[in-house]
Amino acid sequence: MQKKGQEGVIITVLLILIAIGAVAAVSYFIIGQVRQGTVAGTDKANCLKLNYEIVSAVKGDSNIMIRRIAGGDDVNVTNIIVSAGTKGTNKTAGPGMMEIITVSGFNITSGDKIEVAPVLSNGVTCDIRTSQIVA
């Protein structure tokens, strides 16, 4: 008689442990996804704060001058990626704040698209923040 009573208790305890384990496993993955989404959301918000303008990009020149304009003063930018032309020549410049930054080494031709994308301190590259077609 005692065995039947013990079987019910053992089965109940095992079911409770399985349920706790399942809740723990699901919680672990859900919390990880929520945290990852929060970080990505913060990066997107920081990227949207950043604004740049192309000061000079002239056909036949090898220099492109850009400037970071007002906004995103609290965002730490480690690099700026500048690309030009159909071949997508990329150059990296230091972050700079409000001063004009000159990026050299391009072969700018008519019709080249100049694009500027900042890189945040955590390594996230923002979407293109400004672009211009060379006349």
**123 pLDDT above the threshold of 80:** yes
Supply φ then ψ for residue 60, to 5 degrees: 85, -10
Give the confidence band of 86 by pLDDT, cuts at 50, 70, 90. low
pTM across the whole model:
0.64
- Quickly name the fold that domain 50-133 has: Immunoglobulin-like (2.60.40)
Domain residue ranges of the chain, discontinuous segments joined by +: 50-133
